[in-house]
Structure 1
């Protein structure tokens, strides 16, 4: 019953976009060797670390596979959470050089990290092929009315890019660009459980996105392709590690699961723990959406909601709380700002 219910819920939540029954998952082991952040994914540093699955379209498998391959590696040590990515690309270009500008106006690579997995207080990081970065702290998803905190910076961050070709030169074809990022725990733990690094076996919600624009050669450089009907550039492509079901990255509930292990890469393997309450969480998100839609029409929330789970609903004039017990025995809650947590 749970599998059938989950599929139905995903179809509802994602506006008929098809997503995975469980988000993408990754076992993140400790580094066996020090990692020098130079953009080069060196075998000595990364050889024992597995690649993720290749990225897919943000809407899932109802859309074609990406034109160019993207995949990532993750590792960690006592000081940093490391990310490496390889982005195949025949036209490597970037224009933005000012930190904290809207980097996805260029082709970019993006990282989203929700340490507590509750949809609130999460990090967003973007970078282009010039290694220009944009780092943000998000108090709660945009759907719940929170602005991005642009003034916030990741102190101690390290990032680098390596270009396999010639950037901003349309006279030749490039191979790819690769990147490395070191996120310091001193910053990430500020929004983490108990404000600490992950424990062995603990899972954080993480996702990666690649924005890619259609471009054409123009005077030795690149320009975005223009739709003759609108006079504007064609929409960007959004390729991700864990599909969202819709064109929206700020749905932390559909991000992937990264499980941290104290085992060193190449020296053993752990079993990944599937989130047995994931279907309940998605049901709570469905009911959250239903309450929001009802409020927009009626300026009040519903006291009674239909569900295959034994849910409980509490409402006030402008707030609600929905909760139920999951397969794990934990009671999971969602509120009017889409925060999900358990007791």
Structure 2
């Protein structure tokens, strides 16, 4: 298996879509107590839940490690999927206070959830240190022409922030801010397999992102730093749980895996089961990328887009379908809208 991964990494799959051999993973256990969403992450069940690895740059090993640490925990019960995050930050600030504003114009924390793992019908959630939120639904990734559905709201959502220091006060140094979020299953199940909450052992594709801007103090206020020559605002930093390989969060195929367990947190453990068909999915994503490039140049798709491809490709004037057998024995498919599914 190692030789196959090495060959695909070096000769078939570009780094931009192959951020790592397998995305980050997390086993999410059930709670034994009620979680109070106050931002403090103080319940005993939270103490029993493991922290994730610290976030890395969105481009992975191509860029240095983030300046400040970020990490997450997850839990669930019959009503909610809980997320807690800790964000180290010596300069805590936020300006946006209207729901569904473009929150990443502030420093923010973001959650992405694809319940079916097919790159379609997935959720995005963003919040800043003022607990201003932006929730949206995407029918498919932006690369495939879908607009975000901003009018969609997560009814019953709970979120909170705790500031360790002060907010919008440049006179002192801060330590961190922590967040708690409760996503109700009654909403998440709308796009989930069988329109239900996850079964024990089931895996959903999830990722987390943190946008962080370099700031300076001007007349006692935080301002985003500008390039001294161009006077343009410096680009933001994008720090994530599972690296994307490129500066783009909307490629769900490289998000992490969250495996849900019926076991109570702290009482028992279970092993994460890697996706044995992950390499097959990424191979199909490579075919998708090449087909889209070919179509942009020629105006039609090709059945011979990749010499040596062990699967099959079918085309019409405006569509293509590629499929390949995975290690599990399932046949995996991808189409011109990057939708992944199996039979």
SS in 2 for 1:83: strand
The residue aligned with 1:70 is: 70
Task: Tell me: CA distance 1:311–1:110, structure 2 relative to 1, closer, same or farther (3 Å).
Answer: same
- Counterpart residue number, 1:50: 50
Give the Å deviation of 1:221. 2.0
How far apart, in 1, do the equivalents of 2:297 and 2:126 lie? 37
- Aligned twin of 1:276: 276
Number of the residue aligned with 1:218: 218
Q: CA deviation at 1:34?
A: 1.2
What residue number does 1:27 align with?
27
Give TM-score scaled by structure 1 length: 0.97
Number of the residue aligned with 2:5? 3
TM-score in terms of structure 2 length: 0.97
SS in 2 for 1:8: helix
1:307 CA displacement: 5.3
Question: 1:156-305 alignment to 2 at 5 Å?
Answer: 156-305=156-305
User: What is the aligned length?
Assistant: 341
Q: Deviations over 1:131-169 (max 9, x none)?
A: 000000000000000000000000000000000001000
* 1:299, distance to aligned residue in structure 2 (A): 0.3
Q: 1:138, 1:146 within 8 Å by CA — same for their partners in 2?
A: yes
User: 1:184, 1:92 → 2: CA distance?
Assistant: 28
Task: Provide the rounded CA distance (Å) in 1 between the counterparts of 2:59 and 2:123.
Answer: 22
Runs of 4+ in 1 over 4 A off after TM superposition: none
Equivalent-residue separation in structure 2 for 1:114 and 1:204 (angstroms): 6
Task: Please say if residues 54 and 71 of structure 1, whose CA atoms lie closer than 8 Å, have aligned partners that are also in contact.
Answer: yes
Deviation at 1:230, TM superposition (A): 2.3
1:301, 1:225 → 2: CA distance? Answer: 45
- Counterpart Cα distance in 1 of 2:98 and 2:44: 33
Query: Are 1:83 and 1:181, in contact at CA under 8 Å, matched by a contact in 2?
Result: yes
Alpha-carbon distance, 1:70 to partner: 0.2
Q: Please, what is the CA RMSD of the aligned residues?
A: 1.3
CA deviation after TM superposition for structure 1 residue 224, in Å: 0.3
d(CA) in 2 for partners of 1:141, 1:263? 34
For residues 46 and 206 of structure 1, do their structure 2 counterparts lie closer, same or farther at Cα, with a shift above 3 Å needed? same
Query: Paired residue for 1:101?
Result: 101
Alignment partners' CA distance in 1, 2:12 and 2:48: 35
Q: Deviations over 1:198-251 (max 9, x none)?
A: 001000000000000000112222000011222211000000000000000000
> 1: distance between equivalents of 2:263 and 2:307?
41
Aligned to 2:146: 146
Tell me the CA shift for residue 6 of structure 1: 3.6
Q: CA deviation at 1:7?
A: 1.8
Q: Is the 8 A contact 1:59 1:245 kept in 2?
A: yes
**Aligned mates of 2:85, 2:139 — CA distance in 1:** 27
Structure 1 CA distance for aligned equivalents of residues 315 and 12 of structure 2:
25
Stretches of structure 2 lacking an aligned partner (at least 5 in a row): none
Instruction: Find the residue that maps to 2:29 and give its secondary structure.
Output: strand
Distance in 2 between the 1:9 and 1:65 partners? Answer: 27
SS state of the match for residue 10, structure 2?
A: helix
Does the 8 A contact of 2:13 with 2:286 survive in 1? no
Deviations 1:163-187 (A, max 9, x none): 0001000010000000000000000
Q: Which runs of 5+ in 1 are unaligned?
A: none
Whole-Å separation in 2 of the counterparts to 1:84 and 1:10: 37
Q: Is the 8 A contact 1:5 1:279 kept in 2?
A: no
